[in-house]
Amino acid sequence: MDLIKELEGCRTILLTGHIRPDGDCIGSVMGMYLYLSKVLKDVTIIPMIEKPAPEFGCIKDIDKICSDFEPGIQQFDAFIGLDSSTTDRYGDALKFYESAKKRIIIDHHVSNDGFGDICVIDGEASSTCELLLRFMDEDMLDEEIAKAIYIGIIHDTGVLRFSNVRPATLIACAKLISYGFDYPRIIDETYYEKTRIQNEMLGRALVESILFMNGKCIVSKIDQETMDFYGATPHDLEGIVNQLKNTKGVEVAIFMYELAPQSYKVSLRSAGNVDVSKIAKFYNGGGHVRAAGFSMNGTFHDIVNNLSDSIAMQLEG
């Protein structure tokens, strides 16, 4: 795809990602925003996602994000959807997808079936940010664009340690860090540093976790009461599922938190023998082979029972 050619004649462009934006979503929306703002003149470009967590404050122009979903434009010439595998996950930006004259979808989720006029979906890419580099003219990159894209790759690869890292990922990172931003500081500040509340939630989730299926699965949950007691938000629970998965012998880790009474956001992580994207898709979610998620109504026990059947089928089948 020649992105700039595809955007020819567009006067208004909306850039968006998914609800509860993670590092890849924020990095890809902002990396693309900074790039297009530089390349396209006299075009209104709006980055639109929920307000990013404070640790992403190091990204240039992050305050330009339209988080109230009221850009004062009803219909955009182009809608660019990044890092979202379904239209459901656009949240309040969905109406702009529906009304847009042209829809461009760029994503790396294997579960993405493609729902735009132009779709670039590569399940092999580590992150949407890694994919974006394919559409960017190297001569137009700069330190700030490189930093935003680097953050996305770092976050979706667990600091270049997950199996989605390919030689191309490292080549991309090598190129990006050559722009000279302080990458060790960025990794610490946006990825590793945790607030006291985040550490308390992680501690609770680990202590209260349960092993089942002969230690092949681990599950833990945080309910609303606990979140209220600590003053925690869903963002404070990110990363817990990865820590659960680090338990020796575990094939699948499940972490869930209560969205509303009897309604949970479920995160799945696999060591590789179980394709959790298949399971998540079955429950109307999505993701990757080793990392996927969905939302589901029911009690904690209902959800665990359903999931153990799905996991057992794959482990035994």
Contacts to Mn ion by CB under 5 A:
22, 24-25, 83, 127-128, 156
* Positions in 84-123 near ligand AMP (CB under 6 A): 85-86, 89, 109
Using CB under 6 A as the binding rule, whether residue 81 contacts ligand AMP is answered as no
Rule CB under 6 A: is residue 13 a binding residue for ligand AMP?
no
| 16 in Cβ contact with 81 (< 8 Å) | yes
Give the Cβ contact number of residue 191 at 10 Å: 16
Q: How many angstroms separate the most distant Cα atoms in the chain?
A: 61
Interaction between residue 286 and ligand AMP (CB under 6 A): yes
* Inter-residue contact 248 to 285 (CB < 8 Å): no
Should residue 126 be labelled a site residue for ligand AMP when binding is judged by CB under 6 A?
no
3-class SS of residue 296: strand
Name the binder of 52 from Mn ion, ligand AMP, none, CB < 5-8 A by kind.
none
Task: Note the residue count of the chain.
Answer: 317
Nearer of residues 22 and 144 to Mn ion, judged by Cβ: 22
**Using rule CB under 6 A, residue 152 touches ligand AMP:** no
Instruction: Out of 27, 31, 81, 293, name the contact with ligand AMP by CB under 6 A.
Output: 293
Query: Least CB distance from residue 20 to ligand AMP, whole Å?
Result: 7
Q: Do 66 and 52 form a contact (C-beta atoms < 8 A)?
A: no
Residue 292 in contact with ligand AMP, rule: CB under 6 A: yes
Closest distance to Mn ion from the beta carbon of 25 (Å):
4
Contact of residue 23 among ligand AMP, Mn ion, none (CB under 5-8 Å per partner type): none
CA distance 176 to 154: 11
If one asks whether residue 267 binds ligand AMP (CB under 6 A), the answer comes out as yes
- CA–CA distances in Å: residue 97 to residues 8, 73, 137: 19, 13, 26
Edge-to-edge strand order for the sheet containing 102-107? 44-48, 12-16, 78-82, 102-107, 118-121
Distances (CA, A) of 178 to 127, 166, 171, 223, 284: 20, 19, 11, 44, 41
In the complex, minimum distance from the CB of residue 69 to ligand AMP, in angstroms, rounded to a whole number:
19
Nearer to ligand AMP, 89 or 221 (CB): 89
Question: Taking the complex as a whole, how short is the minimal distance between the CB of residue 214 and Mn ion, in angstroms?
Answer: 32
Contact between 285 and ligand AMP (CB under 6 A)? yes
21 interacts with ligand AMP by CB under 6 A = no
* Continuous segment of H or E residues that includes residue 170: helix 167-177
Nearest residue (CB) to Mn ion, 38 versus 265: 265
Q: Which residues bind ligand AMP (CB under 6 A)?
A: 85-86, 89, 109, 241, 267, 285-288, 291-295
